[in-house]
Amino acid sequence: MKNIKIAPSILSANFAKMGEEVRSLEQNGADIVHCDVMDGVFVNNITFGIKMVEDIRKVTKLPLDCHLMIVHPEKYVERFAKAGADIITVHYEACQENLKEVLELIQSTGVKCGAVINPDTPVEKIKDVIPLCDMVLVMSVFPGFGGQKFIPSALDKLREIRAIIDGLDKEIDLEIDGGVTSENVAEIKAAGANVIVAGSAVFKAQDRAEIIKALKA
């Protein structure tokens, strides 16, 4: 089985104490910090942008996984890269026929790139760009908010993408995002995901070390 990495989403953190929150993730065994960037246009919510990533970069050594839920991500890719992102993922729904170009732009900045699909977008739409990606992200909720319920059809997509990735001669991570809990994580991993985003599950837990360990086990 693949090496499982846990990527807590700071969408569920206390934004007024972000430095402490990120340090606590690192101390409690997180592997990646998942940064949900929302613009109020691509999704119906607004979070934070480049400056937050820049400031988080200063308080942790963990890789920063920047999930851009914004229109025209190509306009901001270079600045997120400069701010310290380790990986930038962009939505098929935001880039459409320019997805390949945007992924190449991300790579040209020296940062890893990933493609994301919403629950109602078929794998088919990103099939051609998977070999280009360092990561593929399957949304198991409609993006915008933490604390939503996992949409089970994401499991079929994970299996479909895992089969594609396993047929390629490249290390590509397969990430799941939305509604992950300690109850459903086993089937998610069995379906082929190796990077597990968890927002409310981690931040609502009494003991962050324990939940991160449980999600990983």
- Show which residues are catalytic: 36, 177
Residue 43 neighbours by CB under 8 Å, 6+ apart: 69, 143, 144
Does the protein bind ligand DX5 through residue 179 (CB under 6 A)? yes
**Which of ligand DX5, Zn ion, none does residue 144 bind (CB under 5 to 8 Å by kind)?**
ligand DX5
CA distances for 28 relative to 129, 134, 140, 209, angstroms: 35, 26, 25, 4
Q: Which of 12, 35, 65, 67 binds Zn ion (CB under 5 A)?
A: 67
Is 68 exposed, middle or buried, given 0-12, 13-18 or 19+ CB atoms closer than 10 A? Answer: buried
Residue 91 binding Zn ion, by CB under 5 A: no
Tell me which residues in 133-192 interact with Zn ion (CB under 5 A). 177
> Quick check: helix, strand or coil at residue 141?
coil
Taking the least distance from each CB to Zn ion, the nearer of 21 and 36 is 36
Contacts with Zn ion: how many residues (CB under 5 A)? Answer: 3
CB of 126 to ligand DX5, least distance (A): 17
Give the DSSP letter string of 75-120.
GTHHHHHHHT-SEEEEEHHHHGGGHHHHHHHHHHTT-EEEEEE-TT
Q: Which of 50, 87, 136, 141 binds ligand DX5 (CB under 6 A)?
A: 141
Which of 81, 177, 194, 195 contacts ligand DX5 by CB under 6 A? 177
Stretch that binds ligand DX5, among 74-82, 87-95, 102-110, 177-185 (CB under 6 A): 177-185
The CA–CA distances, whole Å, from 213 to 35, 91, 174, 181 equal 20, 29, 19, 12
Residue 45-84 contact track with ligand DX5, rule CB under 6 A, x = bound: ----------------------x-----------------
Cα gap 178→162, rounded to integer Å:
18
Query: Is 36 a binder of Zn ion (CB under 5 A)?
Result: yes
Among 195, 201, 211, 215, binds ligand DX5 (CB under 6 A): 201
Please, which residues have CB within 8 angstroms of residue 164's CB and are 6 or more apart in sequence?
123, 127, 130
Tell me if 197 contacts ligand DX5 by CB under 6 A. yes
Question: Which positions touch Zn ion (CB under 5 A)?
Answer: 36, 67, 177
